[in-house]
Amino acid sequence: MLKDPVRKYRAFAPVGLRDRTWPDAVIAQAPVWLSTDLRDGNQALIEPMDIERKLRMFKMLVKIGFKEIEVGFPSASQTEYDFVRKLIDEDLIPNDVTVQVLSQAREPLIRRTFDAMHGAKRVIVHLYNAVAPVMRKVVLGLDENGIVDLATTHARLFQELAAQQPGTRWTFQYSPEMFSGTDLAFSKRVVDAVTGVWQPTPQEKCIVNLPSTVEHSTPNIFADMIEWMHRNLARRDSIVLSVHPHNDRGTGTAAGEFALMAGADRLEGCLFGNGERTGNLDLVNVALNLYTQGVAPGLDFSDIDEIRRIVEHCNQLPVHPRHPYAGDLVYTSFSGSHQDAIKKAFAARREDDMWDMPYLPLDPKDLGRSYEAVIRVNSQSGKGGVAYLLESEYGLELPRRLQIEFSQAVQRVMDVEGKELTARDLFALFESQYRTCATPAPRYRVEEQQRGGPVRVVADIAMQGRAHRIDAAGAGPIDAFVNGLNAAIGADLRVLDYHEHAIGAGADARAVAYMELRVGQRTLFGVGIDANIVAASLKAILSGMERAAEESAAASAPAATA
Ligand SMILES: CC(=O)SCCNC(=O)CCNC(=O)[C@H](O)C(C)(C)COP(=O)(O)OP(=O)(O)OC[C@H]1O[C@@H](n2cnc3c(N)ncnc32)[C@H](O)[C@@H]1OP(=O)(O)O
Ligand SMILES: CC(C)C(=O)C(=O)O
């Protein structure tokens, strides 16, 4: 790279629109959307779509709700031509959808384009030629007058050929290619000349499409350019003002949104931003940005994963896992503080509340995603994430101090393995830590002399492989069991805290008991799961006692020598 890039690159000149209004505008309604996946998207693919893939894409675009779809460049190849013929001949274009086709300002290409559209009910036929100084000089070898002449000559040809097919309802569209790299006065001159030929009316509008063929500047400058054109174009009331942003600087979405604020009526782009180089404007991104502001986009992304799979199949290109709204990881938090906030916000949320979820700008359910992947646990995670997964996947509502205790066990595993732990891994670790499967239910009997009075518990238990009989009284079954255990094995056991809840419902429901115990000098948890609530509590005590015994055995074992 150059130390002094100014010797090679020049900054894009600002427009200097002092009385600009767009920064205060609010986008309160959806624009007219034009999908160019089958044209600009397609021309950027390593392997352009065959007819089967084009058709699959077309049907999906219709299902999403696009009413204007650029289906190809019919003069480019036989496949392109045959595809539009198939749509027309097999009557595959719904009545409320208008197809669009593109042609360069070259007579044979335009003739073939009109030829391809015979019998179509409605067509947007799209003319372009380059207007930027670099293209005038190196590609076309024309001065400004020559460019105006090129555009108007072919605009007249459009009129002539359309008149020969009166059964079709034609809408004309013109794009001054590389508008983003052209001075505004000249862009206006060419566009006014073209609309001067077409003479659109407020009832029969034409479309003027302003492309940032290459994105040269910050999006505020593009917005100034659009506002300037919006204010200065002749016949503005007879024009649908469209923009076609690319994404060379990574600000295509901002450019599209700012352009709407600056007066544009229509956006051209592709799903997930496919298109030349860094892509076209990402229509999913803009539509869902609107949605999160409470504006109905008029496009349906309720099954975003299915749409993404079809796009990946048709384009043979992957959608990045971090792609806005659609990527595999965009609703997933790994980091502890994010997980903690999400978990608390989910717990506080009621069904009809406005969406106000930390770290989640949109409810993944609205796009057909489950909450399953919202939180995933790795070494960056804390207790909140672990607790969330155990609760959402296994119905375990761990009390706060147990969350802290268990997350230390998780961290120890993570430090060794260093990889993500799934909900299933965490549950398996929880089962083994708290011996929820290994602790057998004691055989026990509870005797109550009078309702509300002291109870007697008689139980046979096994502790550290040895059998014991417990027979003691207490204020309730837990108290009696603890008293009996202390007497039978000489333990120093107290219950500090106790939580229990049901897991599941109906005949399959089980109870889980979380028991915070003081065993000698040690404070720790025991957990028991059983169909019977008393059995679950006794198991929880035994689980904690076994854990304490194992820990003290481990602490007194001689340290291994190398
Ligand atoms: C910014 C955009 O996305 S615009 C759309 C671009 N899309 C495509 O190009 C995909 C489809 N294109 C094609 O299949 C081919 O380019 C075709 C069939 C249209 C034309 O093919 P060819 O006739 O072989 O021309 P080629 O592709 O080399 O294009 C260069 C010619 O087009 C002319 N040309 C280039 N841009 C323009 C323009 N905007 N307006 C008019 N003529 C142009 C050039 O001057 C050059 O003419 P020359 O051969 O007389 O020097
Ligand atoms: C034909 C035009 C609209 C185009 O694709 C571009 O300039 O990017």
Q: Which of 313, 307, 311 is nearest to 279 (CA)?
A: 311
**Is 103 near ligand 1, meaning CB less than 6 Å away?**
no
185 pLDDT more than 60: yes
Calculate the average pLDDT of the chain.
Answer: 95
560 pLDDT more than 60: no
255-278 pLDDT tens trace: 999 999 999 999 999 999 999 999
Task: Kindly give the distance from the C-alpha atom of residue 28 to the centroid of ligand 2, in angstroms, as a whole number.
Answer: 27
Band of pLDDT at residue 562, cut at 50, 70 and 90: very low
Task: Kindly give the distance from the C-alpha atom of residue 36 to the centroid of ligand 2, in angstroms, as a whole number.
Answer: 10
Q: Which pLDDT value is given to residue 559?
A: 60
For the chain, give the percent of residues with pLDDT over 70. 99
Q: What is the DSSP string of 430-454?
A: HHHHHTTTTSPPPEEEEEESSTTS-
| Nearest-angstrom CA–CA distance, 391 and 263 | 49
Task: Identify the residue whose C-alpha is closest to ligand 2 atom 5.
Answer: 40
441 pLDDT more than 90: no
Q: Which pLDDT value is given to residue 505?
A: 83
386-405 pLDDT tens trace: 999 999 999 999 999 999 99
Q: Which pLDDT value is given to residue 158?
A: 98
75 pLDDT more than 60: yes
Pocket of ligand 2 (CB under 6 A): 40, 102, 128, 175, 177, 209, 211, 213, 244, 246
Q: Which pLDDT value is given to residue 554?
A: 83
370-391 pLDDT tens trace: 887 888 888 888 898 899 999 9
| Nearest-angstrom CA–CA distance, 537 and 521 | 22
Q: Which atom of ligand 1 is nearest to the CA of 276?
A: 3
Query: What is the rounded radius of gyration, in angstroms, for the C-alpha atoms of the chain?
Result: 35
Q: Mean pLDDT across the stretch 437-444?
A: 85
For residue 459, the cross-strand partners are 444, 470
192 pLDDT more than 60: yes
Q: Is 215 helix (H, G, I), strand (E, B) or coil?
A: coil
**Is 175 near ligand 1, meaning CB less than 6 Å away?**
no
Query: Tell me, what's the ipTM?
Result: 0.94
Q: How many other C-beta atoms lie within 10 A of the C-beta of residue 16?
A: 9
**H or E element at residue 243:** strand 239-245
